[in-house]
Copies of this chain bind each other. A is one copy, B any other.
């Protein structure tokens, strides 16, 4: 890396790559004066976010709130009660990522605190299992809760992949009924449609971990339960299947067999299966659809094991219970390629995908909701098996899908701005603002440098303000105020002739005591 005397620009650029003071100083070599000056500047922190994090503003926040409101209403309508757990938990309570290395950064944000590991939650299901295990003696059974909140993943960020995102979950703990699983799918369809995604714009894909287990048994891979040492190979198979959409069937075949070298030359070790084993798995992955023929095809492929038979029976029962809720094969199909990344799933798993309006085969932003059954998660704490199933909705992906192709416009109208003509009369202007606010009109005093009146109008423009209120010497003498209609002003300034400009009431002088009444009337007449 080139190291130069640290000019303003170079220093800033370096900072973007290096974040601790010592390195920044190293980059400030050269003549002593420049170096000393630069050193002082370099000590300033850089105003930036860690990779994979982002800020949200105006319209995105408002739309997300709308979505959360709809989701809460649907969740409550389905009989789920709200619960909020903290962002930080003991790492061992969240499970899955154990502190067997010095810094367990595999997937989670975790740190050591007085000899114990704390962690930010990576999903909402693990904290629910902790909550249920802790309070099960006093909770209704089954226990039905929903929750919203941020979760954190310490993963490599990428385009559209963030390390903090919002999840909305609903879960039923203490029910092994396929009706509990089927309900989650109906819930997903209801939410998607209530937030405005039309029927045909999404598809729910159902699979079952037990079908996969049956298949692996059939090709000679015993289940984890029978032989835990084989879990590594099983995971490799699941991870390979999960990559079907991205790598295509040749890529998956390579990962199931000897391994795969990607374009960059990196090699991923494979599961080491034989050709005929791979052929059987690929045939399984071809089974998709909503009809009875799919179940018959699956039967042939996974027959001969308890796991396979259970998986088949559960899949049939869930599909039937989804159907009685009015959700047919146009919205929910069996899809054997659905795996779900998280390790705790034990039975039915599903994903809801948004699909392109033109071509219903091509996913647009991928999965926006997913879930499944995890019968072992509470058992980790209690030793007793507690069946459970749930759904998780990715609100940020939904938002991203909506905003895709749209300019991120902030369409909200700004406040009425009371401008400052005489800086010794702040109190008078502030009183006008208070009158407007007391009448529930969104209003504010211009609080910047008031010396330049143009700057006040520029501010009002930047805020998309609708009206500006002005009271100079003349108006004060007349007992009036001037109201400028900034929207109308902008519109006619683009098109009007000089004569029209004068004629149009884009600004008017009104009696001071009519301020609230006239403002209210003008706002009612304006668009949004």
For the residues of A in contact with B, the DSSP-based class is: mixed
* Interface presence of A41 (CB below 8 A): yes
Q: Please name all residues of chain B whose beta carbon is closer than 8 Å to the beta carbon of A49 when the two chains form the complex.
A: 85-86, 89-90, 93, 130, 134
Q: Please name all residues of chain B whose beta carbon is closer than 8 Å to the beta carbon of A55 when the two chains form the complex.
A: 83-86, 131
A61 x B84 contact (CB < 8 A): yes
Q: How far is the CA of A427 from the CA of B152 in the complex (A)?
A: 38
* Interface presence of A444 (CB below 8 A): yes
* Interface presence of A222 (CB below 8 A): no
Q: How far is the CA of A177 from the CA of B430 in the complex (A)?
A: 12
Q: How far is the CA of A459 from the CA of B131 in the complex (A)?
A: 19
Report how many copies the assembly holds. Answer: 2
B58 x A459 contact (CB < 8 A): no
Task: Tell which of A74-82, A293-301, A335-343, A485-493 binds the partner.
Answer: A74-82
Q: Which residue of B lies closest to A442 (CB)?
A: B77
Q: How far is the CA of A434 from the CA of B150 in the complex (A)?
A: 31
What distance in Å separates the Cβ of A86 from its nearest Cβ neighbour in chain B? 4
B381 x A45 contact (CB < 8 A): yes
**Which of B134, B140, B172 lies in contact with A463, CB distance below 8 A?**
B140
* Interface presence of A9 (CB below 8 A): no
B86 x A41 contact (CB < 8 A): no
B175 x A434 contact (CB < 8 A): no
**Which of B144, B152, B324, B463 lies in contact with A87, CB distance below 8 A?**
B152
Known: A49-B89, A131-B55. A448 touches B174 (CB 8 A): yes
A430 x B182 contact (CB < 8 A): yes
**Which of B48, B133, B164, B441 lies in contact with A93, CB distance below 8 A?**
B48
Question: A50-95: which residues lie under 8 A (CB-CB) from chain B?
Answer: 50, 53-58, 61-62, 76-79, 81-90, 92-93, 95
Q: Which residue of B lies closest to A136 (CB)?
A: B47
* Interface presence of A113 (CB below 8 A): yes
**Which of B141, B382, B463 lies in contact with A459, CB distance below 8 A?**
B141
* Interface presence of A20 (CB below 8 A): yes
What distance in Å separates the Cβ of A291 from its nearest Cβ neighbour in chain B? 18
Q: Please name all residues of chain B whose beta carbon is closer than 8 Å to the beta carbon of A54 when the two chains form the complex.
A: 86
Question: A13-59: which residues lie under 8 A (CB-CB) from chain B?
Answer: 19-21, 41, 44-50, 53-58
B88 x A109 contact (CB < 8 A): yes
- Bitwise, A421-444 to B at CB < 8 A (1) or not (0) is 000001110110110011011111
What distance in Å separates the Cβ of A24 from its nearest Cβ neighbour in chain B? 10
A447 x B180 contact (CB < 8 A): yes
**Which of B58, B142, B325 lies in contact with A82, CB distance below 8 A?**
B58
Q: List 17 A-B contacts (CB under 8 A).
A: A20-B116, A44-B382, A46-B90, A50-B118, A53-B89, A61-B82, A76-B442, A77-B437, A78-B415, A79-B414, A79-B415, A88-B163, A140-B462, A175-B448, A180-B447, A183-B447, A321-B427
